[in-house]
Amino acid sequence: MRIKTQGRLAQLVERYPYKVDVGGSIPSTPTINKIPTIPQSISMTKKTGPDPLSVFPLEHDKNLVFLKNIITAPNIFIGDYTYFDDRFADPHRFETYNVLYNYSPDKVKLVMGKFCAIAMDTRFIMTGDHKLDALTTYPFPIFGQGWEEAFDVSEFKVKGDIIIGNDVWFGFGSTVRNGVTIGDGAIIAAGAFVVKDVPPYSIVAGNPARVVKMRFDDISIARLQKIAWWNWPLEKINKNLKLLCSLDLDGLEKANSI
Ligand SMILES: CC(C)(COP(=O)(O)OP(=O)(O)OC[C@H]1O[C@@H](n2cnc3c(N)ncnc32)[C@H](O)[C@@H]1OP(=O)(O)O)[C@@H](O)C(=O)NCCC(=O)NCCS
């Protein structure tokens, strides 16, 4: 059976309790950014695809990086094969240009699964909300020199971590605010500003981002999430590339059970 795409807003999935597996455990007080890599039980040959530990999987293209291999911040966790592609600038600037206001690594994490694709100018807003429960939002204390008495800067609030599933595609210039969870297989349209959770396999667009389409029907989405191909061993992924890039869900399910 081939699964059908589905576009009805009425079938929007409710807020989705979501757990992301980036290929290892995330320490509750993260100190390092080393997430165990998918076990490579076969040697790297041309048929194994790119090395997940390489910074530049395309040797000729220094604008595209496997993100986990360039991250230094203790509160950013990225899964294997997730890439960032900055057409016009050094993608090493990701942590400063694309992850914004990352001032409180102890308060907020950015966790992203495997096989995500991040287009240029995608941004993650980690903190940065001014004080809302006051008559002014002007951040007096940050200037010191007596103004620190206005209030304790620890009162700046963060809505929560940014948790992103696997196989998520971020279109050009999309933005994700802290406190948001994005489900597996979602597509964030170019220019979207995401302030609410994004259901798995939905397409969200606009500002504020809303679901404009579901990619598949509910039952197919549940089946896809059960298969969770991104957690397969690499050999299995390599063997089933054509299936993964088709709409043959029965075939994928069969491959999963082997
Ligand atoms: C999200 C995207 C994949 C949707 O493609 P699609 O499935 O063909 O969607 P459609 O064109 O049928 O659009 C569906 C609806 O979403 C709206 N929509 C699509 N993209 C949108 C966007 N970026 N912003 C706002 N609305 C958008 C359409 O207007 C349409 O609305 P309607 O149902 O009210 O008419 C595509 O529009 C997009 O943003 N791609 C990103 C491309 C990119 O940034 N590439 C960078 C290199 S990787």
What confidence tens digit (pLDDT) does each residue in 148-170 have?
A: 999 999 889 999 999 999 999 99
What residue spans define the domains of the chain? 7-257
Q: Which atom of ligand 1 is the closest one to the Cα of 191?
A: 23
H helices of the chain, where? 218-227, 234-239, 241-244, 249-257
16 pLDDT more than 70: no
How confident is the model at residue 38, as a pLDDT?
Answer: 56
* Nearest to 67, CA basis, from 59, 77, 75: 77
Report the number of secondary-structure helices (H) and strands (E) in the chain.
Answer: 4, 15
Q: Is the CB of 171 under 6 A from ligand 1?
A: yes
Please give the Cα distance from 234 to 226 (Å, whole number). Answer: 18
1 pLDDT more than 80: no
84 pLDDT more than 80: yes
What's the mean pLDDT in 227-232? Answer: 98
105-161 pLDDT tens trace = 999 999 999 999 999 999 999 999 999 999 999 999 999 999 999 999 988 999 999
Of 3-7, 15-19, 173-177, 208-212, the range with the lowest mean pLDDT is 15-19
Type of residue at 212: V
| pLDDT confidence tier of residue 35, bands split at 50, 70 and 90 | very low
251 pLDDT more than 70: yes
Q: Is the CB of 206 under 6 A from ligand 1?
A: yes
30 pLDDT more than 60: no
Are 200 and 184 in contact by the 8 Å Cβ rule? The answer is yes
Q: And the tokens for 180?
A: 């948001």
Are 249 and 240 in contact by the 8 Å Cβ rule? The answer is no
Q: Give the Å distance between the CA of 85 and the centre of ligand 1.
A: 19
User: What pTM did the predictor assign?
Assistant: 0.86
Q: Is the CB of 243 under 6 A from ligand 1?
A: no
Of 5-9, 41-45, 154-158, the range with the lowest mean pLDDT is 5-9
Q: Is the CB of 173 under 6 A from ligand 1?
A: no
Please give the Cα distance from 77 to 126 (Å, whole number). Answer: 13
Q: Which residues pair with 125 in a beta bridge?
A: 100, 177
Please give the Cα distance from 140 to 99 (Å, whole number). Answer: 24
Fold of 7-257: UDP N-Acetylglucosamine Acyltransferase; domain 1 (2.160.10)
What residue's CA is closest to ligand 1, atom 43? 171
